[in-house]
Structure 1
Amino acid sequence: MKHGLLGAGALLFTSVSLLGSPAMAEPVKGGVIDVATVGEPPTLDPMTSTADLVGMITQHIFETLYTFDKDWNVVPLLAEAMPDISQDGKIYAIKLRSGVKFQDGSDMTSKDVVASLKRWEEVASRGKQTASDIQSIEADGDLGVKITLKQPYAPLLSLLAFNNSAAIILPSDDQDMPLKKVIGTGPYMLKDRKPDQYIQLVRFDGYKSRSDAPNGYGGARHQYLDEIRFVPVPDPNTRVQGAIAGQFAYADSLPVESYDQVKGGKDKAMILKPFGWPVFMMNTKEGVLSNLQIRKAVQAAMNSEDMLLAAFGSKEFFTVDGSLYPEGFAWHSDAGTEAYNQGNPEKAAELLKKAGYDGKPIRILTSRQYEFHYKMAQVAQAYLEQAGFKVDMQVVDWATLTQRRADPKLWDMFITHSPFLPEPALNGYMQDSSPGWWATDAKHAAIEPFVTETDPKKRAALFSKVQQVTFDEVPMYKVGDFNALAAVSPELKDVNQASWPYFWNAYLQK
């Protein structure tokens, strides 16, 4: 056996970390914080959702076998250490930490882990995709688990570490679908949830932290705060005014045009750079955009620069870039990018004519809870209508959008965004079951060599072929790269810049 980090794509990540390093200060226990979020999460079961909002909140309650450090390397969390991996890359032997308790007081054992990973295979979009590569998941004593693969699968550890569509560990007798009890092993547990008012988490006194130093999402998770309340504040201007007034300890996802206002307020402005990419996902399964030629017409019509300017204003907050990963990542490639940012309604109109477009409206789902989504959708609508499309813009709250996008009969395009993830296989478009349901022979021919190759340099070259097929088959349209804005109270210490903000290790200092 050998110790390995096979395919933890984080090994190829060379851009600036968003996870930060813990500041040196004397922590103080106690206190309650209010965290302003973009809205009400559709669920508290992170296995069943890829929404960042769900992952942000539930990562305090539930934990996974592995997680990511500040440099996006996979590190152990509920696992005792990195797995022993067989020479052929097919068998992962995982030793579990002893003494870990669930929030109902029961001990975590391999029985719970096996049941949870099997549930993940059945109900999580990323778990379903991974299941086809898994031959078996078995207990190896009370504190050991063995995962046997049909063939090497490089992204496995990153998938087990990810916090949405997450392989969370639940008690073996609490595997209901939908989840009936919110019981994890995390540092905070659910006390109360009042929809559209707050989700109240309190310290779990039975929590067993890792003993190693805090490191990104990894290492020790100290529970300095008594209580964390996630408060849905759907209106972005209300979040801005709350940050200026010092109403919230942390305000997430603020409109970037409010940067100067926030800088002059009571809370400190925090720029997350580089953060991620906004993207229009297309319904390749049903409706108008199941026709590839019509998707190519959408691609031809889109003007990324205008969308980014409308959404972010200052070039300090965006880059016009079609590559799926920006420079600084080993995954960066120019493959297929000649089809990006065409802004050519005339060409789009020709493609529509050849495709026999019948004038049926494209239903675009968007939400004003992420104001930059809404502004981009408005510009996209203008360019699409100029090309001859009819557009039905449907503005809904974020929870409704995440529910509707699960049904292929209800939409044609929706806009979302994602942080830059260390392993490309973590991105939703790589999964056949992710909303959009892109599943073609050409996609599979590009992805299979990429996910089965374990050599990091070869994987980087293979990813350019994955990017090429996304431009060829247009399951989505990446708008560009953007930086994000948040605000944090000067009294709240040790809150690091992070793609999914976390508040273990944070403390209040008056």
Structure 2
Amino acid sequence: MKLKLAFLVATALVAAPSLLMAQEKGGVINVATIGEPPTLDPMTSTADLVGIVTQHIFETLYTFDKTWNVTPLLAESLPEVSDDGKTYTIKLRSDIKFHDGSDMASDDVAASLNRWTKLASRGKQAAGFIESISAADPSTVVIKLKQPYAPLASLLAFNNSAAIIIPAEKQADTMTDFIGTGPYMLKERKADQYIQLARFDGYKARSGESDGYGGARKQYLDEIRFVPVPDANTRVEAAVSGQYDYIDSLPVESFDKLKASTATQPLMLKPFGYPVFVFNTAEGVAKDVEVRKAIRQALNMEDMLAAAFGSTDFYALDGNIYPEPYAWATDIGAEGNYNVADPEGAAEAAKAAGYDGKPVRILTSRQYEFHYKMAQVAAEYLKLAGFQVDMQVVDWATLTQRRADKALWDIYITHSPFLPEPALIGSLSPSSPGWWDTPVRKEAVDAFSAESDPKKRVELWAKVQKAVYDEVPFMKIGDFNAVSAMSTKLQGVDPAPWPYFWNASIKK
């Protein structure tokens, strides 16, 4: 399904880049991230921070090109799909080596995909449709489905809860050896200090030019260091001073300050995605759908966005999960249910639903400062509606751990880029924290996932959005643009939702 919005149209380099010079090998770059990733096993986490780091170490069969189409990575070509849509035959590239020097073969791929369906939330999402995954010969893997499942290739391409390929003998549930096929390999990790990656000299890049996350992945840099810098203001000052080569996730109010710096240039990804409040539908106060609706009724999305992003240069009020001009854009379900901002009516609705005064536990982090600002505004509106509020502010790694425990929270705050395939939205899976698992969800999501006709899928997606508004497993707050920054000495880095540094080099 092609999107109307292309990768590099949706992501704009705001500061005018200097003319590209010939790229040379060598050098080390330091990348400031919002914190320490909770794991380096990307199968077991949906945290963007995990994907940003580990996409350099591990690779998947497919990835996305600059127009968000699925494109081969470790696979030789796109899958050959049988006429009934139930058999995917995947040919593998030859002479691919793991970081330990062993050759990648189909048994590694089949074992990895089976691990993915067992451990990864997105793998579990696909598992119900999968009958078997097997190695047909050393260079061919066959996936047999119980019924057609249109999102499969996109799920295999995604770097979040990723279907990474690792050696067959390294398939333990808890990963201890971080061995992939990527252009860089893990050299050293010092908790809360840095994650150091070194060039893998045995890497075999695809031929041709780079193309979004696809195409050739060129290894100019000797090393990449990811450094956790949890405080947003510290990241801003480090960007202005040129302390780091790339600085991720900066407050939008720093944009003018970054533009004035001679050491760095700001990057704005427009539109980047949407902040989202995810409800715990399994336990606690938010288990009752009528309470969830009352919470939504109380909230003023515009005030939350204004507090988080300041100027409408950086946000837009929009209840549609996908905005125009995405092919998936629809307003079905949103009308009358988005940005209601009626705490008095919400108080009545909560009382009618039997709300008993237990605190609404909001789980958030200041490492993404805009999450915290939205939580503060939400708390005040909820108090006006008669809700008790327990705001739990933790670091991002702790949040990703706590959200896996149904007993610990009622709402957690996160955000998502606009994903190329709606089935990639984690909260649509009943195994994702939030645990939305109702007959309404199953009917809408399964019908959407089984349909292969693009036009029919657009119509079926509208029914999924309606189910989201009817049952409120999560709330989209609005659209926002994201700000990062990079050194004026760094070249070959395209703005992207999950920044990557193959193809990057340092100007000599």
Q: Which amino acid aligns with 2:292?
A: R
Q: Identity of counterpart residues, as a percentage?
A: 64
Given candidates 353, 356, 367, the residue that maps to 1:355 is: 353
Q: 1:155 aligns with which of 142, 151, 157?
A: 151
Give the deviation of 1:24 after TM superposition: 5.5
User: 1:364, 1:412 within 8 Å by CA — same for their partners in 2?
Assistant: yes
Shift of 1:212: 2.2
Corresponding residue number in structure 2 for 1:424: 422
Select which of 209, 212, 216 maps to 1:216. Answer: 212
Shift of 1:16: 5.5
2:299 to 298, 302, 312: 302
- State how far apart, in whole Å, the 2-side matches of 1:237 and 1:374 are: 14
Long gaps (5+) in structure 1: 1-8
Equivalent position SS for 2:59: coil
- Partner of 1:71 in structure 2? 67
**CA shift at 1:25, angstroms?**
3.8
SS in 1 for 2:143: strand
How does 1:432-443 map onto structure 2 within 5 Å? 432-443=430-441
| Match runs of 1:243-282 below 5 Å | 243-265=239-261, 266-282=263-279
Aligned length: 501
Question: CA–CA distance in 2 between the matches of 1:13 and 1:50?
Answer: 26
Match of 2:185 in 1: 189
* Equivalent residues in 2 for 1:50-61, closer than 5 Å: 50-61=46-57
Whether the 8 Å CA contact 2:106–2:139 is kept in 1: the answer is yes
User: In the TM superposition, what whole-angstrom CA distance separates every residue of 1:483-509 from its partner, at most 9, and x where no partner exists?
Assistant: 000001111101001000000001000
Other structure's SS at 1:12 match = coil
1:320 CA displacement: 0.2
Q: In structure 1, what is the equivalent of residue 469 of structure 2? A: 471
Match of 1:336 in 2: 333
What CA distance in whole angstroms lies between the structure 2 residues aligned with 1:77 and 1:181? 22
Aligned pair partner of 1:504 in 496, 502, 508: 502
Q: Which residue of 1 aligns with 2:284?
A: 287
The structure 2 residue matched to 1:322, chosen from 319, 333, 338, is 319
Secondary structure of the structure 2 residue equivalent to 1:230: strand
Give the conservation status (yes or no) of the 8 Å contact 1:19–1:69: no
1:281-321, Cα deviation, whole Å (9 max, x unpaired):
00000000001110010110111100000000010000000
What residue identity is the alignment partner of 2:483? Answer: L
Q: Aligned partner of 1:303: which letter? A: N
Aligned equivalents of 1:498 and 1:343: distance in 2? 33
Contact conserved, 1:16 with 1:274, CA < 8 A, in 2?
A: no
Instruction: Determine if contact 1:364/1:391 at 8 Å carries over to the other structure.
Output: yes
Partner SS for 1:81: coil
Decide whether the 8 Å contact of 1:67 with 1:77 is kept in 2. yes
Distance in 1 (CA, whole Å) between partners of 2:6 and 2:77 is: 26
For the residues of structure 1 that align with 2:276 and 2:321, how far apart are their CA atoms?
Answer: 10
Q: Write the distance in 1 (CA, Å) between the matches of 2:101 and 2:4.
A: 38
* Pairing 1:16-415 to 2, within 5 Å after superposition: 17=8, 18=10, 25-265=21-261, 266-338=263-335, 339-415=337-413
The 8 Å contact of residues 199 and 229 in structure 1, kept in 2 or not, is answered as: yes
CA distance in 2, matches of 1:62, 1:16: 22
CA RMSD of aligned residues (A): 1.2
**Letter paired with 2:5:** T
Tell me if the contact between 2:277 and 2:411 (Cα under 8 Å) persists in the aligned partners.
yes
Deviations along 1:39-68, whole A, 9 cap, x unmatched?
A: 000000000000000000000000000000
Quick one: distance in 2 between partners of 1:342 and 1:25? 52
1:281–1:476 CA contact under 8 A, matched in 2: yes
| TM-score, length of structure 2 as denominator length | 0.97
Q: Deviations over 1:257-299 (max 9, x none)?
A: 1111111112001101110000000000000000111001011
Query: Which whole-Å CA distance do the structure 1 matches of 2:37 and 2:137 have between them?
Result: 37
How far 1:430 sits from its partner (Å)? 1.2
TM-score normalised over the length of structure 1? 0.97
Equivalent-residue separation in structure 1 for 2:299 and 2:110 (angstroms): 46
On the 8 A contact 2:316/2:478 being kept in 1, the answer is: yes
Structure 1 residues 94-114: Cα deviation after superposition (integer angstroms, max 9, x where no partner): 000000000000000001000
**Which 5+ residue runs of structure 2 have no aligned equivalent?**
none
Instruction: Give 4+ residue runs of structure 1 displaced > 3 Å after superposition.
Output: 15-25
Is the 1:47–1:168 contact (alpha carbons within 8 Å) kept by the matching residues of 2? yes
Deviations 1:426-457 (A, max 9, x none): 00111110000001001111111111110111
Q: CA deviation at 1:389?
A: 0.3
